[in-house]
Amino acid sequence: MKTNTILTGDRPTGKLHIGHYLGSLKNRVKLQNEGKYNMFIMIADMQALTDNARNPEKIRNSLIQVALDYLSVGIDPAKTNILVQSQIPALNELTMYYLDLVNVSRLERNPTVKSEIKQKGFGQSIPAGFLTYPVSQAADITAFKADTVPVGDDQEPMLEQTREIVRTFNNTYNAEVLVEPEGVFPPKGQGRLPGTDGNAKMSKSLGNGIYLSDPADVVTKKIMSMYTDPDHVHVEDPGKIEGNTVFTYLDAFAEDKAKVAELKEQYQAGGLGDVKVKRYLNDVMQGLLEPIRARRAEYEKDIPGVYQILKDGSDKANEIANQTLAEVRAAIGVDYFKDLK
Ligand code: TRP
């Protein structure tokens, strides 16, 4: 029997890139194929709307792209329940009950939300839904009684908030209804993948990403113009590995570690040109992305079929979330009509 339940998810605000692959998707496929977990992956469209309420088209379009990204990397709907947050009404009711157990100043202290507020430039006009999204995320996690939540480092405050809500709820209502989740974070030092321009963050707004859905020639073009060592001007010059994005990517993606070590040595000694290293990186990346692209092309032929996968996943998710909600209502005592015939 599968005793552990994993829940994780993404905001659909754009297509997923190789940083997402490295940081989470790859691991999700591995966990899925271990077969030990009940797996739920949520496309968190309501959370995406908390700062995109006036641009719902973006979220709508991204939803299907993210679904295609999942399927193309090998998330298998027969093994993993892919669900859409907005299609699970129980999450909203759970959120309302949880909001009463959290105070505003606690929400205002959440470091991830704080830095997002700054970065998004809300000023004094923070959407209330945005400030409270960690509570809605607690509903996401607890609705499925997930005990294991693999996420990026920036999600640590959400897990902490969720654990607090679980404890407060179970204490307040003297019930053992909600489950305290553990976050599972990327190993230290294996942080995020830099953009192709060397910027610490890969993002759409910086235009420095390689997307899982990029055609082969686009990937090649992006790799051939990547940031390397700016002081490595002539082939015979010794080059630097540190902060050299091409080598960072090779470390992250190349399976032949001996070959990478050899290239590094040559590069540092001098006599190895950037173009050669980039060509090798291109081979590595195309090898990774080609099967992903092929699978995507198959799914793209049947978009209604992809929506059907999301609906089936959401239907199953509703059964579970409704069950948890019933327990939550009973614990609070708002199950007034339960004995009526
Ligand atoms: N906040 C997460 C992110 O930005 C997305 C998310 C929403 C999530 N609900 C979740 C992650 C529940 C894990 C569990 O990446």
Which CATH number fits the domain that encloses residue 98?
3.40.50.620
Would you say residue 209 lies in a domain?
Answer: no
Determine, yes or no, domain membership for 235.
Answer: yes
- Token reading at 213: 């859905």
In the DSSP assignment, the letter for residue 155 is G
Residue-wise pLDDT for 100-124, tens only, equals 999 999 999 999 999 999 999 998 8
7 CB near ligand 1 (under 6 Å)? yes
Q: CA-to-CA distance for 162 and 95, rounded, in angstroms?
A: 11
Q: Is the distance from the beta carbon of residue 137 to the nearest atom of ligand 1 less than 6 Å?
A: yes
pLDDT at 189 over 80: no
Residue 39 Rama label (left phi>0; alpha psi -120 to 50; beta):
beta
Ligand 1 centroid to Cα of residue 8, in Å, is: 6
Q: Is there a single domain that holds both residue 152 and residue 251?
A: no
How confident is the model over 284-302, as a mean pLDDT? Answer: 98
Within-domain flag for 133: yes
- Note whether 229 and 179 are same-domain residues: no
Query: Can you give the pLDDT at residue 188?
Result: 72
Please, which pLDDT band fits residue 61 given cuts at 50, 70 and 90? very high
| Distance (Å, whole) CA 36 – CA 42 | 19
In a domain, residue 284? The reply is yes
Residue 3's pLDDT band (cuts 50, 70, 90): confident
Q: Write the DSSP symbol of residue 243.
A: T
Average model confidence (pLDDT) for the chain? 96
pLDDT band at 187 (very low <50, low <70, confident <90, very high): confident
Is the domain of 292 the same as that of 311?
no
Question: What tens digit of pLDDT does each residue of 76-89 get?
Answer: 999 999 999 999 99
For a ligand 1 pocket test, name from 5, 6, 7, 10 the mutation site with the most ligand atoms within 8 angstroms of its C-beta.
Answer: 10
Residue 2 predicted with pLDDT over 90: no
174 and 313, same domain (yes or no): yes
pLDDT band, very low/low/confident/very high, at 192 (cuts 50, 70, 90): confident
Is the predicted pLDDT of residue 97 greater than 70, yes or no? Answer: yes
79 and 168, same domain (yes or no): yes
Ligand 1 in reach of 150 Cβ (< 6 A): no
Q: Is the CB of 110 under 6 A from ligand 1?
A: no
Mean pLDDT value of segment 68-74: 98
137 and 256 fall within a common domain: no
Bridge partners (DSSP) of residue 43 are: 10, 84
Q: Which two tokens stand for residue 304?
A: 């209604």
The CATH number that applies at residue 275 is 1.10.240.10
Verify whether ligand 1 is closer than 6 Å to residue 141 (CB atom): yes
Please indicate, yes or no, if residue 321 is contained in any of the structural domains.
Answer: yes
**For atom 9 of ligand 1, which residue has the closest CA?**
137
The yes-or-no verdict on residue 47 having pLDDT over 80 is yes
Residues 16 and 104 placed together within one structural domain of the fold: yes
The strands making up 4-10's β-sheet, listed across from edge to edge, are 80-84, 37-43, 4-10, 148-150, 182-184
Domain count, the chain: 2
pLDDT tens digit sequence for 135-175: 999 999 999 999 999 998 899 999 999 999 999 999 999 99
User: Quick check: is 86 in a domain?
Assistant: yes
Please work out whether the CB of residue 8 comes within 6 Å of at least one atom of ligand 1: yes
Q: Say if ligand 1 is within 6 A of residue 149 CB.
A: yes
Are 263 and 307 contained in the same domain? no
Show Cβ contacts of residue 192 under 8 Å, excluding neighbours closer than 6 positions. Answer: 19, 23, 152, 200, 201, 202
pLDDT digits (tens, 9 = 90+) for 207-240: 999 999 999 999 999 999 999 999 999 999 999 9
Confidence of residue 25 (pLDDT cuts 50, 70, 90): very high
For residue 1, is pLDDT > 70? Answer: no
Tell me what pLDDT residue 214 has. 97
The answer to whether residue 313 is domain-embedded is yes
Whether residue 84 is found in the same domain as residue 42: yes
Q: Is the domain of 228 the same as that of 283?
A: yes
Q: Which two tokens stand for residue 38?
A: 């009940």
pLDDT surpassing 70 at residue 191: no
Residue 207 covered by a domain: no
pLDDT (mean) for 179-198: 88
For 169, the domain range is 4-192+303-332
Q: How far is the CA of 257 from the centre of ligand 1 (A)?
A: 33
Task: Specify whether 233 is located in the same domain as 269.
Answer: yes
| CA 94 – CA 2 distance, rounded (Å) | 25
pLDDT at 123: 87
Residues in the chain: 341
Q: Within this chain, do residues 166 and 283 fall inside the same structural domain, yes or no?
A: no
Residue nearest to atom 15 of ligand 1 (CA): 10
